[in-house]
Amino acid sequence: MKINEIRPNEGATRRKIRVGRGPGSGKGKTAGRGHKGQKSRSGYSRRFGFEGGQMPLVRRLPKRGFSNYPFKKEYVGINLTMLALFENQDVITVDDFINKGIVKDIKDGIKILGNGEINRPVTVRAHKFSKSAREKIEKAGGKCEVLEP
């Protein structure tokens, strides 16, 4: 089998409908748009959620909850298992995570999460620590240093 011999399975593809190509095509003259009206015109597009003038569902339902969107903080989570990549370092900083390629884009900071184990004393400098991560690092004899955002 060669790459130029590969074909889709039988019945997997269908011919596209060519609208406005005469009466024999079955979609000639008005091209399946009917006669007159807004939807028959070119350039027509309906707004998302439009319900024909009826009050849209999104406006019929009551508002609930609270959105903290403009002040939301987004931290990049790093598990303790990733600290094993820094075997011969005593101090691990944010720059080390970037240089190793663990983190590509820091939004509001880095948070160290507690998934995994650590068995040597190490000082970790990050913006936030989960409770379990802090306990495991300190139990191994290390330190958690919180950076300012």
What does the pLDDT look like over 65-98, one tens digit per residue?
999 999 999 999 999 999 989 988 999 999 999 9
- Whether 92 is in a domain gets the answer yes
5-64 pLDDT, tens digit per residue, is 999 999 999 999 999 999 999 999 999 999 999 999 999 999 999 999 999 999 999 999
| Separation of alpha carbons 122 and 119, rounded Å | 9
pLDDT at 149 over 90: no
- Whether 2 is in a domain gets the answer no
Say if residues 94 and 108 touch (Cβ distance below 8 Å): no
Give how many domains the chain has, as a whole number.
1
pLDDT at 107 over 90: no
- Whether 45 is in a domain gets the answer no
- Whether 47 is in a domain gets the answer no
Q: What is the pLDDT of residue 48?
A: 92
Exposure of 126 by Cβ count < 10 A (0-12 exposed, 13-18 middle, 19+ buried)? buried
Hey, what are 26's tokens? 């079955």
- Whether 64 is in a domain gets the answer no
- Whether 85 is in a domain gets the answer yes
- Whether 25 is in a domain gets the answer no
Can you give the CATH number for the domain in which 107 is found?
3.100.10.10
Domain that holds residue 90: 73-146
Q: What is the pLDDT of residue 148?
A: 87
Q: What is the pLDDT of residue 59?
A: 95
Nearest C-alpha neighbor of 82 from the set 109, 105, 108, 113: 113
pLDDT at 143 over 80: yes
- Whether 136 is in a domain gets the answer yes
Q: What is the pLDDT of residue 1?
A: 86
